[in-house]
Amino acid sequence: MAEIVLNAKPRERTGKGAARAYRNDGLIPAEYYSARHDNLHLLLNRREFDTLLSTAFSLLELEVEGEKNKKLCIVKDMQFHPVRGNVLHVDFQGVVRGEKLTVNVPFVLTGTAEGVKSGGILEHLVREIEVECLPKDLPKDIPEKLEYDVTNLQIGDSIHISDLDYPQFKILNDPEETIVQVIASRVAQEPTPEEAAEMAEEEEMKERKRKSSLFTGGKWKLNAVHLSTFGQDENAYIIVGLGNPGTRYHLTRHNVGFMVLNRFIDRFHLEFNRQNDLFEHRQVNLDKKTVLLVKPLTYMNLSGRAVEQLVAVTDLKTYSNLLVVCDDFNLPFGTIRLRPGGSAGGQKGLESILETLQTNEVPRLRIGIGNEFHDPVDHVLSPFQEEELKQLPSILDWACNAVEAFITEGISYTMSRFNRHVLENE
């Protein structure tokens, strides 16, 4: 397959003002990231880019002015103007012929399920499928989106990853993961008065056990009573920042979630309370909203344990007011992405939370930390470099502003306002 050749030239200036000036001249700021080559700051001709890029997974050859060899890559991410819809910034991921790469393909449902017509509720749990393929398969065997017709689904039916049949590529999601299901509505499964009383008694006993397992001291008993109704308030929010406890991890990239919450709580001149081994927390008030700030202490890969207890104690009814703040090595350093749901994208702490809560529909604010190493583990546990530390305060402030907007303005506004490369874009 002949690759699309796209011309680019080095970008000499960085910063918001420079990015704005470039766009006014018909150019698009871009970044090229590769585990094998140096990262490049680039400029694209807007008209050429819009003309050549026809599919989401086109294989490109970047011909960079002054570079001897072309750069084989794919478009990893694009940022769009929230109103005009034009491209503001492009991120390219370098690829190597013969080496497999992963891409996330949107999973779109079509049709109306028979179970919905009968009064059921359709739950779309997985909206992106992680696919492994070779560069030569793009875009021939990898579609822009995967579509699934749900017309024949009845109440009680579900579709799992293992039910998908795409022999042209390998799906990396857990085969047992549920993609979509049709459940009975509350009206359809209304219990009898006797069943309702029995269920209520069982739930009350379970709730007592959950709380007693977490709160043992007198002070914690008071806090448990206080938090037990927290999740029932529609103006209550829980913000969970992920990281690893201990001074050895203090300034590592993996702890950027902790850093955001630490900077956020500084705005209130408060400190976190630690009264158990699962998490630190602090409650603040913001624009008539009650906000619980939480830092799990279970280490990153077990973050779900802390969040599970937190959800149980607060009696949280919906996850739309729960925001997870974490690092993402798939995003360039300085890039911020807020999403209402989706897969964990390789972030182990987020993966633990999604598995524990048994849903992907948990809002998450991802802070890009880049990827300079072949081994992601080495990279996420490495400290920020000196130049990055100088830029980090601006990134953390932007993330804190995004958290505040999520609480006060809602997720749609926050995504359109804050999803961008902090150091490059407006």
One digit per residue, pLDDT tens: the chain, 426 residues? Answer: 456 788 999 998 877 778 888 989 999 999 888 877 778 899 999 888 877 764 455 678 889 998 888 888 888 777 776 556 678 888 888 888 888 877 778 888 888 889 888 888 888 888 888 888 777 766 666 677 888 899 999 999 999 999 998 887 888 888 888 899 988 764 444 556 666 666 666 666 555 444 444 433 333 332 433 455 565 677 889 999 999 988 788 888 999 999 999 999 988 888 887 756 788 888 888 888 889 999 999 889 889 988 988 887 777 777 899 999 999 988 889 999 999 998 888 899 999 999 988 889 999 999 999 876 556 777 888 888 888 889 999 999 999 999 999 999 999 999 999 998 887 644
H helices of 5-92, in order, are 16-24, 46-52
Hey, do 4-94 and 229-421 end up sharing a CATH topology, with the first three levels equal?
Answer: no
Cα torsion 63, 69, 74, 80 to 10°: value is -40
Q: For the chain, which residues make up each domain, given as ranges?
A: 4-94, 101-183, 229-421
Torsions phi, psi for 28 (to 5 deg): -115, 120
pLDDT of amino acid 234:
76
Strands 335-339 and 364-368: antiparallel
User: Whole-angstrom Cα distance, residue 212 to residue 241?
Assistant: 25
Strand partners, 289: 286
User: Whole-angstrom Cα distance, residue 223 to residue 218?
Assistant: 9
Which tokens sit at 409?
């303005």
pLDDT of amino acid 311:
82
pLDDT of amino acid 222:
29
Instruction: From residue 314, give the alpha-carbon distance in Å to each of 216, 221, 385, 403.
Output: 16, 13, 39, 20
Q: Which residues are catalytic?
A: 254
Q: What is the separation of C-alpha 60 from the centre of its chain, rounded to a whole number of angstroms?
A: 26
pTM (2 decimals)? 0.51
Q: Answer yes or no: are the C-beta atoms of 289 and 404 closer than 8 Å.
A: no
pLDDT of amino acid 337:
94
> By C-alpha distance, which of 265, 407, 227, 415 is closest to 323?
407
Report the number of secondary-structure helices (H) and strands (E) in the chain: 11, 21
Which tokens sit at 273?
């309370």
Strand partners, 7: 63
> By C-alpha distance, which of 369, 284, 282 is closest to 331?
369
User: Whole-angstrom Cα distance, residue 343 to residue 357?
Assistant: 13
| Rounded to 5°, angle at Cα 35 from 32 and 37 | 65
Which tokens sit at 317?
């009814």
Fold of 101-183: RNA Polymerase Alpha Subunit; Chain A, domain 2 (2.170.120)
User: Whole-angstrom Cα distance, residue 304 to residue 350?
Assistant: 8
pLDDT of amino acid 236:
87
Residues 6+ apart with CB under 8 A from 13: 21, 22
Q: What is the separation of C-alpha 381 from the centre of its chain, rounded to a whole number of angstroms?
A: 19
User: Whole-angstrom Cα distance, residue 256 to residue 264?
Assistant: 12
Q: Strands across the sheet with 101-110, in order?
A: 146-149, 101-110, 128-133, 170-171
User: Whole-angstrom Cα distance, residue 147 to residue 6?
Assistant: 30
> According to CATH, what is the number of the domain 4-94?
2.40.240.10
> According to CATH, what is the number of the domain 229-421?
3.40.50.1470
Longest Cα separation, the chain: 78
